[in-house]
Each structure stands twice: as structure tokens, then as C-alpha cells.
């Protein structure tokens, strides 16, 4: 499902114009991105959490040059689904 599909679904189910729904969806995504960039997690009860994970420094190998490199500690965005959401997906049988 793409962003356009999400906009179409919301527009159909609510009767709101697609342009308004698209702006709302994009504003939501911008808010989530801005929060994560600021180091703040976003919690959506019953859906999941958008969190910032901290990756520790580690040693890796460049196999083409046969050298070791150090990957510095860094943050990455991640999504952790809520338990109810996970159970709904697990219970789905096709």
C-alpha cells in the first residue's frame, strides 16, 4: 500500500477531499520525522511507537580491501508495533 492508496482509502471512508487528506497525511509524517530528529519518540496507543534507536560503535570489515573499519555510534529511526497490532496480524489467515 502506498501513500496515495492510504489517501484514497481515508478519502473514501470519511468523505473528505483527497487534497485535504493528502496534506493531513503529509503533515503527520512531517511531525513524526521532526520529533524523531529532535530525539523524541512518538507513541500511538494501539498502533505502535516510532522510536530512535541508538547503535553502538562497532568494528566492521571491508572485504574487498581486506581492512577493518570502525563504524561510529549513531541513531536510527525504528518502528515498534503495539502488542494488539502484532496479534491482529498474526491471527490473520490467508
- Kindly report the CATH number assigned to the domain that includes residue 40: 4.10.520.10
For residue 91, the model assigns a pLDDT of 87
Q: Domain total for the chain?
A: 1
**More confident position, 94 or 6:** 6
Cβ distance 31 to 50 under 8 Å? no
Domain carrying residue 59: 3-91
Q: What is the mean pLDDT of residues 42-63?
A: 95
Mean pLDDT of the chain: 94
Tell which residue, 77, 32, 34, has the closest CA to residue 54: 77
* HEC letters along 11-76: HHHHCCCHHHHHHHHHHHHHHHHHHHHCCCCEEECCCEEEEEEEECCEEEEECCCCEEEEECCEEE
By three-state DSSP, how is residue 94 classified?
Answer: coil
**Percentage of residues in the chain with pLDDT exceeding 70?**
98
Amino acid at each position: 500500500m502506498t501513500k496515495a492508496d492510504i489517501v484514497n482509502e481515508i478519502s473514501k471512508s470519511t468523505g473528505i477531499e483527497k487534497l485535504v487528506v493528502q496534506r493531513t497525511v503529509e503533515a503527520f509524517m512531517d511531525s513524526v520525522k521532526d520529533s524523531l530528529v529532535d530525539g523524541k519518540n512518538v507513541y500511538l496507543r494501539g498502533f505502535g511507537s516510532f522510536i530512535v534507536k541508538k547503535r553502538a560503535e562497532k568494528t566492521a570489515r571491508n572485504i574487498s580491501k581486506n581492512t577493518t573499519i570502525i563504524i561510529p555510534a549513531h541513531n536510527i529511526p525504528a518502528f515498534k508495533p503495539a502488542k494488539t497490532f502484532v496479534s491482529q496480524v498474526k491471527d490473520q489467515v490467508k
